[in-house]
Structure 1
Amino acid sequence: MSAAEVYAGIDIGGTTTQVLLCTPDLSVLDRAEVPTPAAAGGHAMMGAALDALRLLLTRGYGRLLGVGVGAAGVVDTGTGRIVVASDSFHDWSGYPVTATIGAALDVPAYLDNDVNAFLRGEVACGAGAGEPDLLGIALGTGVGGALWLDGALYEGPNGAAGEIGHVPGFGELPCTCGGRGHLETLASGRSIATRYAERTGRDATARDVADAAGRGDPDAIAVYDAAAAGIARAALVTAGVLDVTTVVVGGGVSRAWSLLEPAIRRALTAEPPVSGRPVRLLHARLGSDAVALGAASLARTELAADRTGMASAS
Structure 2
Amino acid sequence: MAKKLIGIDLGGTTTKFAFIDQGGNILAKWRIPTDISNAGSNIVPNIIKSISDQMRKEDYNAADFLGIGMGTPGAVNREKGTVVGAFNLGWKIVQPVGATISANLQLPIMIDNDANSAALGEFWKGAGDKADDVVFVTLGTGVGGGVVTNGHLVHGINGGAGEIGHITVQPGGYLCTCGKRGCLEQYASATGVVRIAKDLAKQFTGKSRIIELIDSDEGLTSKMVFYLADNGDILANQIVDRVCSYLGLALSHIGNTLNPENIIIGGGVSNAGNTLLQPTTRYFQENAFPSVRDSTKLKLAQLGNDAGVIGAASLALQFRNTQPFNTK
- CA apart distance, 1:185: 1.4
Q: Does 2:47 correspond to 1:49?
A: yes
Aligned residues of 2:70 and 2:312 also touching (Cα < 8 A): yes
Distance 1:104 1:208, change over 3 A: same
- CA apart distance, 1:26: 1.7
Q: Write out aligned runs for 1:80-229 (5 A).
A: 80-86=81-87, 88-91=88-91, 93-171=93-171, 172-198=173-199, 199=201, 200=211, 201-202=214-215, 203-229=219-245
Aligned residues of 1:30 and 1:56 also touching (Cα < 8 A): no
- CA apart distance, 1:125: 0.8
The TM-score, its normalising length taken from structure 1, stands at 0.90
- CA apart distance, 1:243: 3.0
Distance 1:248 1:91, change over 3 A: closer
Show the counterpart of 2:255.
Answer: 239
Q: Does 2:307 correspond to 1:290?
A: yes
Q: Does 2:280 correspond to 1:281?
A: no
- CA apart distance, 1:274: 4.1
Distance 1:274 1:258, change over 3 A: closer
Q: Which digits, 9 at most, give the CA deviation of each residue in 1:201-237, with x for residues without a partner?
A: 3431222222222222222222222222222112211
Q: RMSD over aligned Cα, in angstroms? A: 1.9
Show the counterpart of 2:8.
Answer: 10
Distance 2:259 2:226 in 1: 32
Residue identity in the other structure for 1:266: R
Distance 1:306 1:133, change over 3 A: closer
Q: Which digits, 9 at most, give the CA deviation of each residue in 1:229-286, with x for residues without a partner?
A: 2221122111222333520111111111121011112213333424353430111111
Tell which deviates more after alignment, 91-100 or 54-63.
54-63
Q: Does 2:279 correspond to 1:267?
A: no
Distance 1:129 1:271 in 2: 25
Residue identity in the other structure for 1:31: K
Q: Which digits, 9 at most, give the CA deviation of each residue in 1:71-90, with x for residues without a partner?
A: 0121111111112212x322
Residue identity in the other structure for 2:15: T
Distance 2:287 2:195 in 1: 28
Q: Any unmatched runs of 5+ in structure 1?
A: 308-314
Distance 2:118 2:307 in 1: 5
Number of residues of Structure 1 aligned to a counterpart in Structure 2: 303
Distance 1:299 1:113, change over 3 A: same
Q: Does 2:20 correspond to 1:19?
A: no
User: SS of the residue aligned with 1:130?
Assistant: coil
Aligned residues of 1:19 and 1:33 also touching (Cα < 8 A): yes
Distance 2:122 2:46 in 1: 26
Show the counterpart of 1:312.
Answer: none
- CA apart distance, 1:25: 1.2
- CA apart distance, 1:177: 1.7
Show the counterpart of 2:75.
Answer: 74
Q: Any unmatched runs of 5+ in structure 2?
A: 202-210, 324-328
- CA apart distance, 1:122: 0.7
Distance 2:91 2:281 in 1: 43
Show the counterpart of 2:208.
Answer: none
Residue identity in the other structure for 2:74: G
